[in-house]
Amino acid sequence: MLSRICKVSIFGALLIALMSAPSFAQPQAPEFSLRAVDGPAVTSESLRGEVVVLAFGASWLPLTRIQMEGLKKLADQYASRGVAVYWVSTESESAKSKNFVADDELQQLARKYKISVLRDPEGTISKRLGVDQLPATVIINKQGQVATTFGGLDPSADFAKQVAERLDKIL
């Protein structure tokens, strides 16, 4: 009888330990530093305490215009709520690459849509954040955890509304 009580107690303690284990928490976003095309680098450390939207894409993608327009709308809508919104180019910085885009081209894109543009030319940060297709969006919460990652963009849907629904759950 005592043996059965011990087994039940051990099982209960193990179950409680597993339920409170950090593995059930959202994953911590990796440390990163992304170079801005028109200013200082943006780092995970500098963004701590803010909700961050990182939208990964490439200027040559047909969906970029829809993505950028949606990001501008989000940046305006959530500016006073501690949300930082960035578009991240995954295009190469090497003029020898077929996937090359110059900073001045990205600066023009940033001015046109009035959105901050960062660079991840080797795709290192996007891969570490779980991005496996373009376009893709990663939202990091105030604690620096990846709250959600989603890929693709439906051109007939309202991108800003889709992201806003996710942001509202986090805020």
Global pTM reads 0.83
Q: pLDDT digit string (tens) for 67-93? A: 999 999 999 999 999 999 999 999 999
What's the average model confidence in pLDDT over 159-165? 96
pLDDT-derived band of residue 107, with 50, 70 and 90 as boundaries? very high
Domain residues for the domain of 53 are 25-170
Q: Is 32 left (phi over 0), alpha (psi -120 to 50) or beta?
A: beta
- Percent of the chain as helix, strand, coil, to the nearest 5: 40, 25, 40
pLDDT digits (tens, 9 = 90+) for 140-151: 999 999 999 999
Q: Output 56 or 98, whichever has higher pLDDT.
A: 56
Q: Is omega for the bond preceding 135 within 30 degrees of 0, making it cis? A: yes
Order of strands, sheet of 42-43, starting from the edge strand that comes earlier in the sequence: 42-43, 33-36, 116-119, 83-89, 51-57, 136-140, 146-151
Q: Does any domain span residue 79?
A: yes
Residue 68 tokens, joined: 């950028």
The CATH number that applies at residue 138 is 3.40.30.10
In a domain, 41, yes or no: yes
Does position 11 have pLDDT exceeding 60, yes or no? no
Phi and psi dihedrals of 9, rounded to 5? -65, -45
Residue 9 covered by a domain: no
Residue 105 within any structural domain of the chain: yes
Number of domains present in the structure of the chain: 1
In a domain, 138, yes or no: yes
pLDDT greater than 50 at residue 23: no
CB 91 within 8 A of CB 100: yes
> Six-digit token pair at 21?
């284990």
- What mean pLDDT do residues 101-114 have? 95
Q: Supply 103's token pair.
A: 């900073």
In a domain, 37, yes or no: yes
Q: Is 36 exposed, middle or buried (0-12, 13-18, 19+ CB in 10 A)?
A: middle
Is the pLDDT assigned to residue 17 strictly greater than 70?
no
Predicted confidence at residue 1, as pLDDT, reads 52
At residue 139, the pLDDT reads: 97
Please indicate, yes or no, if residue 131 is contained in any of the structural domains: yes
Q: What is the pLDDT of residue 16?
A: 42
Q: What is the pLDDT of residue 4?
A: 53
User: Is 153 within a domain?
Assistant: yes
Average pLDDT rounded to a whole number, residues 124-129: 94
The pairing of beta strand 51-57 with beta strand 83-89 = parallel
Average pLDDT, the chain: 87
Confidence tier at 28 by pLDDT (50, 70, 90): confident
